[in-house]
Amino acid sequence: MLKETVDLLNGIPANVITAAATLSGVVATGAISLVTICISKHFEGKQKREDWLKNAKLPIYESLMEGLPGFYEPKDRKLINQFLLSRNKLSLFASDDMITAINSFLDSVSEFNTGQMDDKERQKWLQKLLFEARKDCLAEGVTFKTKLPLEAFKQMRPRIGEVGLNNG
């Protein structure tokens, strides 16, 4: 088979073989360049989305943290509402762990205010919230998927009394 291929190629003029080899080189170079450009554009777009998201998240996290003192004595409804509004905004793009930590913290506040939890236990939930906030702010990349069930978002926009603050 090799001999037949060599015989076939010997019958083709040299300038045709040269032109075919040049053309295949140009096509290969063009294809590689196109693939390289496509990959570059993909990662450039991904980086722009990540930068935008990080810039959008940080002010909301700052607002969330500024609202935390509202849950402690003396309770401050304005700060609590700021916290809850920030939580609602974060539900759009915070990590699953962060959303879970916020919900757990709000549950702990409610349980503390009704006497079902002591302050030491509530502090553990606050620490978890702060840890997850820091982890989410420092995370590399963007989360585009969630594994949270619909119930994780049931607490969006609660009234003050729903987090155990009706007496504050």
- The structural domain count of the chain equals 1
14 belongs to a structural domain: no
Residue 133 in domain? yes
31 occurs within a structural domain: no
Tokens of 29: 């170079």
Q: What is the DSSP string of 116-137?
A: SS-HHHHHHHHHHHHHHHHHHH
Structure tokens at 39: 């990959």
Residue 35 lies in a domain: no
What are 24-73's pLDDT values in tens digits?
777 778 778 787 877 777 777 777 777 777 788 889 999 999 999 988 87
Question: 82 lies in a domain?
Answer: yes
Question: Looking at the domain assignment, is residue 83 inside a domain?
Answer: yes
User: Structural domain of residue 93, as residue ranges?
Assistant: 51-163
Q: How confident is the model at residue 86 (pLDDT cuts 50, 70, 90)?
A: very high
Q: Does residue 65 lie within any of the structural domains?
A: yes
pLDDT of res. 155: 61
Residue 153 located in a structural domain: yes
Span 115-121, mean pLDDT? 84
Comparison of pLDDT for 9 and 24, the residue scoring more: 24
Per-residue model confidence (pLDDT) at position 67: 92
Please tell me the least confidently modeled range out of 6-15, 61-70, 80-89: 6-15
